[in-house]
Amino acid sequence: MVERAKGEHSAQVQALFKRADVPCYCQYWQFDGDHRQWQDRCANHREKNVFGIAEQLSQESIVAFVARDKERVVGWARVARPAELSKLYSGRLYRGLPCFSEGRDEVRTLACFLVDPTLRRQGVARKLLKSVIELSRESGAKYLEALPRGATDVSDEEQWMGPLALFVEAGFQVVHDFSPYPVLRLELAAAANL
- What is the rounded distance in angstroms from the CA atom of residue 20 to the CA atom of residue 5? 18
- What is the rounded distance in angstroms from the CA atom of residue 28 to the CA atom of residue 88? 10
Q: Which segments of 35-93 does DSSP mark as H helices, in order?
A: 35-44, 46-59, 86-89
Q: What is the CATH number of the domain that holds 52?
A: 3.40.630.30
CA atoms within 13 A on the CB side of 26: 29
- What is the rounded distance in angstroms from the CA atom of residue 75 to the CA atom of residue 30? 21
- What is the rounded distance in angstroms from the CA atom of residue 153 to the CA atom of residue 172? 21
- What is the rounded distance in angstroms from the CA atom of residue 106 to the CA atom of residue 53? 26
119-125 average pLDDT score: 87
Domain that holds residue 117: 2-190
Q: What is the pLDDT of residues 41-66, one digit of tens each?
A: 999 999 999 999 999 999 999 999 99
- What is the rounded distance in angstroms from the CA atom of residue 123 to the CA atom of residue 115? 10
How many separate domains does the chain show?
1
Burial of 71 (0-12, 13-18, 19+ CB in 10 A): exposed
pTM, full prediction: 0.89
Q: What is the pLDDT of residues 133-174, one digit of tens each?
A: 998 898 889 999 998 876 666 666 666 678 888 899 999 999
pLDDT value at position 122?
85
